[in-house]
Chain A
Amino acid sequence: MVRFENVGMRYSAGPEVLRDVTFELVSGSFTFLTGLSGAGKTTLLKLIDIAEPPSRGLITLFGCELATAKRTIFPALRRRIGVVFQDFHLLDHLSAFDNVALPLRIAGRREGEYSHDVEELLTWVGLGDRMTAKPPTLSGGEQQRVAIARAVVARPDLLIADEPTGSVDSEIGARLIRLFAELNRLGTTVLIATHDRTLVERTRACEMRLVDGRLVELRAARP
């Protein structure tokens, strides 16, 4: 599904943010990416989402080696990935409903086809009565749930999330993790970046730990 081989990344002439990162996410896996702030988690997620090219090394996504692939296929690859951004990246002038429906519209689906799915999903994340609300009127936790609903609504092959439970209370957090687990059960590969150890310990998922841009630990899923 995702393979990194000796990937290094630096922004402009700055220091390397990621160094010699090598790992593989197999299809259907559920993995946590952990590490302190500044360890390189967000950068690694950006590389997976084809938001930035690596400075060195090879990245293979859905069997496609990005360095040699034509850029014209990138949009199709990106549509197979659901992303929960750390700062949500919601469009303030669109309602919660329209924000969540964005990936479906990009995929060319009509409103009549997806409105039921979007409403059901928003209800599931506890925003059934906030569908028409615009992001600036939502709390941080509500915005995060909208961002998560947007990431999962198109049933992506790969879901990557950057601190997805950072702005919600523990009950909502547990509910969101259950949502991710349910998606994973249906076949979506999940990679969640977090520094919340409790969240990691509570589940039996794989863990990749980054320290100063290096992948120092790879823990397989516990039985």
Chain B
Amino acid sequence: MSPGDRFMPREKGAAPLDVVIAVMAFLAVLALGASLVAERTAVGWRAGLAGKLTVQILPPAQGAVNEGLQRETDAALDVLRATEGIAHAEPLSEEEKLKLVQPWLGQGNLVADLPLPQLIDAEITPGADLDLAQLAQRLKQAAPDSVLDDHSHWIARLRELARSVLWTAYGVLLLIAVATAAAVSFATRAGLRAHHEMVALLHQMGAHSGFIARAFEWHYFRSALLAAAVGAGLALIMFLAAGGLQFAGVEAVPFLPPLALKPAELPWLLAVPAAIGVIALVTARLSVLAVLRTIY
């Protein structure tokens, strides 16, 4: 049993401060969770594109379009499948191509009338040292209307985007952490002002500074930890609900990755209430010691 268990009163009027701490913990957990999702999504995007090639065969400007497309597609496939380092090469089906343009052009007859380019997905064997420039040249010779895309441009752009998203998330997290620390510190100091007489009495009775500080710090540690756990718990419920939506196949916000967290990421969120508890503990200790320094 800590000294605070017996010395500190059950505080009345502390509820608003507990609410502030709970709200700050809620926001901090949201920011931390969002940064974890952003990081994981960025890695996923990069991994999804890395190691893949796309060969685009444009419809020939002259002659029979479909026959020309098919001929060049077969030629490009032959080149790809004969290339060492290409694990797999497969043309996209008509349905897959239509699905790709559907968000922009819809499902009407317009699409049916448009000559769509043929796309070939190819996977590079992991660790293979592929000369992309030479491959592009060989593809051009076999299929003059082919364009090789190794996604390096997109990967670079995604890397930039992911970096921006991550730093933004870290910035928000830092701001919330600073605001949380300030709120917890303020709440703790406000509570201590109400107990100034008790600090003075214990001091007058010969209690060491460390003894008095311990009585307060554990009290505020537990109060802040409890309030922060409530806030973090609510945020956690939100993440679990988002996970449930993802599992049910519901896209909460179009184009954005779902806010669901992986089980391995959840322990990170527990660090938020613990950190808030420690902030309260340290603030209480420093505040009590500062008060004691002013007493003879």
CA distance A130 to B143 in the complex (A): 101
| Contacts A/B (CB < 8 Å), 6 sampled | A51-B296, A78-B206, A83-B204, A91-B7, A105-B6, A106-B205
Known: A105-B6, A106-B211. A91 touches B201 (CB 8 A): yes
Residue from A76, A105, A107 having most chain B Cβ neighbours under 10 A: A105
Most chain A beta-carbon contacts within 10 A, residue among B3, B6, B10: B6
Partner of B204, one of A78, A93, A94, A107: A78
Q: Across the interface, do B206 and A94 meet the contact criterion of CB distance under 8 Å?
A: no
Identity of the chain B residue whose Cβ is nearest the Cβ of A89 in the assembled complex: B201
- CB atoms of B296 and A79 under 8 A apart: no
B207 at the interface (CB under 8 A from A): yes
Given A91-B7, A91-B198, A98-B6, are A106 and B207 also a contact pair (CB < 8 Å)? yes
Instruction: Evaluate contact between B296 and A53: CB separation under 8 angstroms.
Output: yes
Bound-complex Cα distance A98 to B201 (A)? 14
Q: Specify which chain B residues have a CB less than 8 angstroms from the CB of A187 in the assembled complex.
A: none
Please determine whether B9 and A106 come into contact, CB atoms closer than 8 angstroms.
no
Instruction: Collect the chain A residues with CB atoms within 8 Å of residue B3's CB.
Output: 105
Separation of A92 and B205 alpha carbons in the complex (Å): 16
- Say whether B208 faces chain A, with CB atoms less than 8 Å apart: yes
CB-based nearest A residue for B197: A89
A residues in contact with B206, CB < 8 Å: 75-81, 103, 106-107
A80 and B8 CA atoms in complex are apart in Å by 25
Instruction: Judge whether A94 and B7 touch: CB under 8 Å.
Output: yes
Residues of A within 8 A of B8 (CB): 93
Bound-complex Cα distance A50 to B295 (A): 11
Closest to B1 in A: A111
We find that the number of chain B residues with CB closer than 8 angstroms to chain A is 18
CB proximity to A under 8 Å, residues B58-93: none
Cβ of A24: which chain B residues have Cβ within 8 Å of it?
none
Within 8 Å of chain A (Cβ to Cβ): is B43? no
Q: B10 touching A93 by the CB < 8 A rule?
A: yes
Considering the complex of A and B, which 4 residue pairs feature the smallest CB-CB distances, nearest first?
Answer: A79-B206, A93-B9, A78-B206, A106-B207
Q: How far is the CB of B201 from chain A (nearest CB, A)?
A: 5
Residue pair B10, A79 in contact (C-beta under 8 Å): no
A residues 86-139 touching B (CB-CB < 8 Å): 89, 91-94, 98, 102-103, 105-107
Bound Cα distance A77, B208 (Å): 11
Instruction: Pick the residue among A76, A94, A102 that contacts B205 (CB under 8 A).
Output: A102
Q: For residue A53, which residue of chain B has the nearest CB?
A: B296
Is A162 interfacial (CB-CB < 8 Å)?
no
A78: B residues at CB distance < 8 A:
204-206
0/1 string, A46-57, CB within 8 A of B gives 1: 000111110000
A52-B296, A53-B296 as given contacts; A79 in contact with B6, CB under 8 Å: no
A64 vs chain B, min Cβ distance (A)? 14
B202, CB-defined interface residue at 8 Å: yes
Q: Which residues does chain B contribute within 8 Å of A92, judged by CB atoms?
A: 9
A102 to B10, CA, bound (A): 18
Closest CB in chain B relative to A75 CB, distance in Å: 5
Task: Looking at the assembled complex, report how far the CB atom of B292 sits from the nearest CB atom of chain A, in whole angstroms.
Answer: 10
Contacts of A53 in B (CB 8 A): 296
| Chain B residue nearest to A71 in the complex (CB) | B296
User: What string of 1s and 0s marks CB contacts (under 8 Å) between B181-208 and chain A?
Assistant: 0000000000000000110011111111
| Residues of B contacting A79 in the complex (Cβ-Cβ under 8 angstroms) | 205-206
Q: Which of A51, A75, A89, A103 has the most CB of B within 10 A?
A: A75
The answer on a CB contact under 8 Å between B202 and A106 is yes
**Inter-chain contacts of A75 with B (CB < 8 A):** 203, 206-208
Q: How far is the CA of A92 from the CA of B194 in the complex (A)?
A: 13
When chains A and B are docked, how far (Å) is the Cα of A105 from the Cα of B4?
Answer: 12
Nearest-Cβ distance from residue B14 to partner chain A, whole angstroms: 13
Across-interface contacts of A89 in B (CB, < 8 A): 197, 201, 204
Tell me the nearest residue of chain B to A150, going by C-beta.
B205
**Residue-by-residue, is A208-219 near B (CB-CB < 8 Å gives 1, otherwise 0)?**
000000000000
Determine the chain A residues whose CB is within 8 A of the CB of B207 once the complex forms.
75, 106
Nearest CB on A from B27, distance (A): 33
Kindly list chain B residues whose C-beta atoms are within 8 Å of the C-beta of A94: 6-7
Residues of A contacting B6 with CB < 8 Å?
94, 98, 105
CB distance from B164 to the nearest CB of A (A): 53
Contacts of B208 in A (CB 8 A): 75
Report the Cα distance A91→B206, complex, angstroms.
16
Cα(A51)–Cα(B202), bound, Å: 12
Find the A residue at minimum CB distance from B212.
A106
Per the bound structure, the CA–CA distance linking A147 and B76 in Å amounts to: 98
Inside 8 A of A50's CB, which chain B residues have their CB?
296
Q: A89-B197, A91-B198, A92-B9 known; 18 other A-B pairs, CB under 8 Å?
A: A52-B296, A75-B206, A75-B207, A76-B206, A77-B206, A78-B204, A78-B206, A79-B205, A79-B206, A83-B204, A83-B205, A94-B6, A94-B7, A102-B202, A103-B205, A105-B6, A106-B206, A106-B207
